[in-house]
Every structure is written in C-alpha cells, then in structure tokens.
Chain A
Amino acid sequence: MKRCSDRLRRPGLWSTLVRDCSGLVGLLLFAAIVAVAVIGPWTVRSDPLRVNLERAFAPPGTSGLFGADHLGRDLTARLIWGARTSLLSGAGALAIGLAAGVPIGLVAGYRRGAVDEVVMGLLEVLMAFPGILLAILAVAVLGAGRTTVVVAVGLVSVPLVARVVRGTTLALREAEYVLAARALGVGERRILWRHILPGCLSPLIVLSVLRLATTIVTVSGLGFLGLGGDPAVPEWGAMLSEGLAYLRRAPHLALLPGAAILLTVLSVNLFGDALNDALNPRLRSRTGGPPW
C-alpha cells in the first residue's frame, strides 16, 4: 500500500488515490465511530431511556441536537448509545463466528477424510439458506434478546470462516515445514496452533474486517425486524423501525439511525477493501456475502 502522501503529489490517478487513501479515511471514520461508542455515553448528559411525553416529536434543534423521539426521549443520546450497542453486538457476533469457525476449519482441513466430508456437508447445509433467514430461525429458537441476536449472527458467520480457514489449511498442510513437523512426530494440536494457524492470519484478518460490516448490518437488521430484545435499549435497527411509523410526521426519527448504520458500514468497508487489496490481491472480494 503506497503511502497516501505519495499519491497526493501525483494528481490524475484518481482511482489509485481513492483506493489507497480511502483505506485511511475508512479507518479514521471507523475509529471516530468507535470513539463515539466508547466515550460518547459519558459525555452525553441526557438519559436515553427517560420518557418525556411533553417533548414527543421535538424537531432537531429544539430539544438537543437531534430532537426527541415519539416518547420524548433524547435522540442524540439514543444515537450515541446505539453506537455502543450496534458495535458491541457486531463485534461479539464476529468473535463467536471466529471462535467456532476457526477450530472447525482447522480440523476439517487438516484431518480431511470423513471428518472433513461431514463437516463440509453440514456447513453446506447451513450455507444453503440466506444468512438472514438462518439468523431469524436461530433467534426464533433461542428467543429474542440481545445475547441471542449476537449468538445467532455469530452462527451465521461460522460456515464462511470455517470454509476460508479450511481452504488455507488444506494448502498449508502440504507445506514443507508442516510435513517436517509431522515426520518428527509433533502433535496435531501443536501443528495446528503453531504452524498452520499463523498462515491463516492474513486471510482471516481481511475476512474479519469485511465480515464485521456484515455482522453489524445483520444485527441491525434483526433489531429492525423487532427481534432484538428490550425495545427501550437504544439500537439503531430498532430505532429505524420505530421511526418508520412516523415517517411523515418526524422523518428524522428514521433517517438518522439509518444514516448512522450506513456511515459505520461504509467506513468498515472502505478500510476492509483497502486491507484486502494490500494483503490479498488474489482473494475474491466479498460479492458473495452482502451486508443486508
């Protein structure tokens, strides 16, 4: 990845400029959003949960920066707290996807044979429905709620993670140093952990970043469908859905959370794209798995 400053000295090559600088822009934007999520709740004075019917539907500017929602709750506070909910849920889901997917992929790719076939078969079945439906089904089984949403979305990521790890493992297991280690009688677990896993890191990192965009969107999507648990807790997807009923009367109730989701995902994608180009020029981009 050429440095951004180099590019600035050569006007005219717009696409490469955009491509390389955009990664930086994305990272900065995302960092800003994370900062809002982490620090924001402390700086905001109003309680995002406090209902104040007198101020219901207060337009932006009259009552706080962004006004109030249908129950008179401060929208600015809710947006800021919502950042925390959405980011934590998205990250949590990703963590679950990695925690389950990586070991599965490693084992399947290393052992091959029957284990691999069975695992791949199961993964293929899981990937045989659009992720959002799988998430809805999982939420239905586990019951709606913040934790189950995170688990459900994490579950949806497992097959993809496992598949990528498996693919890399399949390639790496034939590498010389691995063969040597096996010949020396080194245990499977150690080989996986010390020799194969590090080789998976590069594609995993890219996948993780790009996948984060998807998990954040899916989590918001489930919130939008009303499956996200406690309605009082600010969550962008749920806020968007609540705001829909008042689109004519107070459009900012729906448009602001929507913009927040969009910005967050955009920043992650920008960064992830740049990372992808830098680390894995050969890896196919994630046109197969959209954020919903």
Chain B
Amino acid sequence: MWTFLLIRTARAAVVLLGLSIVVFMSVRLIPGDPALVFAGDYATPAVVAQVRERFGLDRPWVVQYAVFVRRALAGDLGASVRTGQPVLTEIAPRYARTVVLAAAATLISVLVGLPLGVLAAVRRGGWVDRASIALALLGVSAPTFVVAVLLQYVLAVRLGWLPVTGGGSLRHLVLPAVSLGVFPIAAIARLVRAGLLEVLGEDYIRTARAKGLPEAVVLVRHALRPALIPTATVVAVQFGTMLGAAVFAEAVFAWPGLGRYLVQAVSARDYPVVQAAVLAVGATYILANLAVDLLYRWLDPRIV
C-alpha cells in the first residue's frame, strides 16, 4: 500500500511539473505585449520598458522559468500585470470560490444522483426508471452554459426566487451549483443504475434473498457496496471536471471565481495570473485524480 502511495504521488508530482512547463511555455507564445496593458493608455514608452524590466519579460525563457519555479516554491507567484497586486492574493479567494462551487455541485450531484440511480435500478421498468433514463440523457446532453441560462431565466428572471447574478452568499451559490451539477447528476445516476443492475443479477444476491434477508438489507449491505466503487471514483473525477466547467457557470451567473477571472486574464495577457490560475486548477485536478486512485485502491485492493 505504501509503495503504491509513494509511486502514485511521485508520478503526480512529475505530471504537475510537466504541466507547469507546458503552461509556462504556451503562455509565452501568446501574441501581444503584456507590458502595455499594465502601463495603460497614456503611458510613455519609458514606463512600458520599466514594466517589462520589472517583470523580467525580456529575459530568456529558461531563465524566466527558473525564476518562476524558485519564487513559486517560496510562495511568490509574481504580480498581476494588470493590477500590480501579488498573484497569490488575486487568485486565492477566487480559487476558493471556484472550489466551493465545484464542491457544492459535486455534493448536489451525489445527493440527487445516487438516490435517483438506486431508485431507477430498484424500480426497473417502472415510471421512475423511465423518467430517470430520459432525464439523465437530457442532463448529459445539456451543456453547462445552456442549463445555466435556462435556470437563470426561469428561476431568477421570471420567478425571481433567486438572484440573477452575483456571489457572496448561499443564495447566490444555488443556481450556479445546480447548473454545474446537472451533468454529474445524470452521469452518476446512470452509472449507479447500471452498476446496481449488474450487481443485482449476481448469484450472491440471490443467495442473500433466499436466506430471507429483508430487501433493504440486501440492497445496502450487499449490492450497494461493490456498485459504489466505480461511482466513488467517478464522483471524484467529476469534481475535477467541474473545476473546468465552472468557467461557464461563473460566466452566466457572474460568480466571482477563478474560471471567469482566468478568461479575463487571458484577454488581458496577464501572464502571471494565467500561469498561476491554470496551474492551480490543474494541480487540483491532479490531486483529485490521485485521491481517486488511492480511494479506488483502498476500497478494492484487488484492483490496481
């Protein structure tokens, strides 16, 4: 178990390093001059040059990367080309908000998707099952931004039950989280249903029933557990995916998270922010996948 942990972690670290290099390199290829954005409309060429020098935008790439890594390990991710503020302070609160959003969406997806899938499997062929399949298919097909606009229109603009846009409170979190969660709800429901159906056909289930155990016990103790293993890993993967899809929920609802900020930073050629934001999300994704691997291994040691 421990060697497994070590190897997987080392591997994750290597991937993270690779990620940082890829991000760093690609970001340097972007056309346009960031020094100009920071200096602003009225700045003289002298000011622009000073900015370029201060952020080291004219040194060779290798040197820039080394400096970047050294600083990053010390907690200094540079300063935003746009506002001059430390990147860490710019992205930390936004990152937190995106993580909160993704976590909320994941929670919703489990709380809704899991029971839905179980119900559909248990009442196979019934109207619940039929409805679930149809809804799940719809959920899996609807892009996040479409769902978001629909929900915004119906629940916020027409009915006025929830705020149209904004962040900062639980009420504001509801619509974006639900919009994000639609896809995973559908995916999880489908997976749970399929997994459960497969398990319910197994011999040992028949045996358990033959032994006279109540259906609920059969379900929870014997059937659910093996069906949950792939589900657990999917949930964790979905969390990582939602970190990306959050860009759309944030755009529609103006949730002040990292996704939106990243898109803005990309337009503004704000290199330090783009680098840090992509790395932050990428690292989270890698960590989530690592956690998935470990979880999988822990839940079912047979599987490697």
Contact = CB atoms under 8 A, between A and B. Distances in A.
A binds B: yes
Interface of B: 14-16, 18-19, 22-23, 26-27, 29-31, 124-125, 129-130, 133-134, 137-138, 140-146, 149-150, 152-153, 157, 183-184, 187-188, 190-191, 194, 234, 237-238, 240-241, 243-245, 247-248, 251-252, 262-263, 266, 274, 278, 281-282, 285-286, 289
A130 B241 contact: yes
B25 to A, nearest CB: 9
Contacts of A143: 31
Interface string A228-259: 00000000010011001001100100110011
A217 B262 CA distance: 20
**Pairs A-B, 9 closest by C-beta atoms:** A130-B244, A125-B18, A266-B141, A258-B146, A140-B266, A129-B282, A287-B187, A265-B141, A217-B143
Contacts of B30: 140-141
Contacts of B31: 143
B262 A136 contact: yes
Given A137-B278, A285-B190, A129 B143 contact: no
A261 B141 CA distance: 9
Contacts of B241: 130, 289-290
Given A258-B146, A261-B146, A290 B278 contact: no
Given A137-B278, A287-B190, A292-B248, A255 B141 contact: no
A129 B125 contact: no
B157 A273 contact: no
A133 B244 contact: yes
Contacts of A266: 137-138, 141-142
A220 interface: yes
A221 interface: yes
B140 A132 contact: no
Contacts of A261: 143, 146
25 contacts: A14-B125, A121-B14, A124-B15, A129-B244, A129-B278, A130-B281, A131-B244, A132-B245, A133-B281, A138-B26, A139-B266, A141-B26, A224-B145, A240-B149, A244-B252, A251-B157, A254-B153, A258-B146, A266-B142, A287-B188, A287-B190, A288-B237, A290-B183, A290-B184, A291-B183
A158 to B, nearest CB: 14
A184 interface: no
B141 to A, nearest CB: 4
A18 interface: yes
A13 B187 CA distance: 23
A287 B29 contact: no
Contacts, number: 166
A51 interface: no
Q: Is the interface of A mostly helix, strand, loop or mixed?
A: helix
B141 A247 contact: no
B124 to A, nearest CB: 7
A133 B259 CA distance: 9
A35 to B, nearest CB: 20
Contacts of B266: 136-137, 139-140
Contact of A129 (B27, B144, B285): B285
B251 A225 contact: yes
A141 B29 contact: yes
Q: Is the interface of B mostly helix, strand, loop or mixed?
A: helix
A122 B18 CA distance: 8
Given A130-B241, A287-B234, 16 more contacts: A122-B18, A124-B18, A125-B15, A128-B18, A128-B19, A128-B286, A129-B19, A129-B278, A129-B285, A241-B251, A244-B252, A251-B153, A269-B137, A290-B238, A290-B245, A291-B143
Contacts of B240: 130
Interface of A: 12-15, 18, 22, 121-122, 124-126, 128-133, 136-141, 143, 213, 217, 220-221, 224-227, 237, 240-241, 244, 247-248, 251, 254-255, 258-259, 261-262, 265-266, 269-270, 273, 285, 287-292
A28 B133 CA distance: 20
Contacts of A130: 240-241, 243-245, 281, 285
A292 B141 contact: no
A231 to B, nearest CB: 14
A163 to B, nearest CB: 14
B18 A121 contact: yes
A138 B25 CA distance: 11
Contacts of B262: 133, 136
B20 to A, nearest CB: 10
A259 B248 CA distance: 17
A13 B15 CA distance: 48
A6 to B, nearest CB: 18
Given A128-B19, A129-B281, A133-B278, A292 B144 contact: yes
A86 B30 CA distance: 26
